[in-house]
Amino acid sequence: MQEAYNLCDNVALINHGKMIEYGNPHEICKKYNENNHIILKLKNGEEKEYSWDDKDINEIVQQLKANNVATINSTDTSLEDVFILLTGEELNV
């Protein structure tokens, strides 16, 4: 699935012979990205995961202002995640 994401302009997700989604891989992943979180690794080694709500955003800003952040990452939805979300089934490869 990652190769399809990287190489294809458009993909079709097919389950039991039925097309369940079609389009640009990036746009499909963005469309179903309901669980996107921000992960901060603090300079003290602690790792914290935040959502996009106002309370968490304010805490992220406070961590940044205090110069406590070593790295910032975000979680992304993959094509495999989308397939599982839409079908409830694992990939058969």
pLDDT value of residue 90: 79
Cα(27)–Cα(14) distance, rounded to whole angstroms?
17
pTM, two decimals, is: 0.64
Q: Is the CB of residue 64 less than 8 Å from the CB of residue 37?
A: no
pLDDT value of residue 25: 97
> Tell me: the pLDDT tens digits for 49-84?
998 888 999 999 999 999 999 999 988 889 999 999
> Tell me: the pLDDT tens digits for 7-58?
999 999 999 999 999 999 999 999 998 777 899 999 999 999 998 888 999 9
Nearest in space to 85 (alpha carbons), one of 49, 38, 31, 25: 31
Cα(85)–Cα(64) distance, rounded to whole angstroms?
34
